Homo-oligomer: A and B are copies of this chain.
Amino acid sequence: MNPLPTYADVVAASERIQGHAHKTPVLTSRTVDEQFGAQVFFKCENLQRMGAFKFRGGFNALAKFTPEQRRLGVVAFSSGNHAQAIALSARILGIPATIVMPKDAPAAKVAATKGYGGTVVLYDRYTEDREQIGRELADKHGLTLIPPYDHADVLAGQGTAAKELVEEVGPLDAFFAPLGGGGLLSGSALALRALAPDCSIYGVEPEAGNDGQQSFRKGAIVNIEVPKTIADGAQTQHLGAITFPLIQRDVTDILTASDAELVDCMGFLASRMKLVVEPTGCLGFAAARRMKGELKGRKVGVLLSGGNVDMARFASLLAAAG
């Protein structure tokens, strides 16, 4: 097995994505600061290109392709932000991209992926295995498969957001980020351990899908059924072979948030901070709010990971937030 990626890989990723990824703004809210009795810095990856941090990792991975890999192309399987990240990065770099998506994926997401120039291959999620389809396409056409999180270059790219955050606001005492497969969390932890060694680092999962929390406590990767949650970006069933050891080594704890808390945070971020954040993107903020009593006087980073939510769904969730 290859050695685990290090902070040097995050630094290299940061140079590679420069001029392609947005250096997203860090926003603050006096209301939040007063509620917390702390300084809270929101890193707005919902304002990243294609609406989520995933562009960082996707672009970094593709930018490292050899000329031969570039010529043959990339394949990815995803129904969400990873698909768009790979399709857009591939278009920028002039690499042919094939994206394997479920037949019942939202039409808007399929259209967005095609809009970025990706070739979409649809599969039936009840009878077919997307990983197998992806691997077969890779073998048959010599494509390079880029998985959504368990990949050194992907997670190093994701770590660049936390790096930018600390470079802008200085060392943090605590940091909260959503946790799905662990690419964002493990990459962020690489950056934070280097730049803010005393920072407490929290990954936050949906309550219904706490496989990461179970794995962290057990010391081994736990698999779960696809969890029922509105946080569709964190419906992963297990951490990865690369992300898990990094999380075990560098992360302070894994927390959870309920769907009701996510809806409430989404409403607050829209009404008070004027930001559209998808439910998954609210995980970090929801957990930070829950433990705000312990954060008094501290400098807190909250990563808002994405804003890709269908507007009809967003409107109905806002109505539910009241």
Contact = CB atoms under 8 A, between A and B. Distances in A.
A243 B9 CA distance: 55
Interface stretch (A67-75, A76-84, A274-282, A295-303): A274-282
Nearest to A317: B315
Contact of A316 (B274, B307, B315): B315
Contacts of A321: 311
B274 A47 contact: yes
Contacts of A46: 274
Interface residues of A, number: 27
A104 B96 CA distance: 59
A319 B30 CA distance: 30
Interface centre among A47, A276, A277, A315 (most CB of B within 10 A): A315
A12 to B, nearest CB: 24
Interface in A1-45: 22, 25, 27-28, 30
Contact of A318 (B27, B30, B271, B311): B311
Nearest to A115: B31
A277 to B, nearest CB: 7
Contacts of A183: none
A315 B30 CA distance: 25
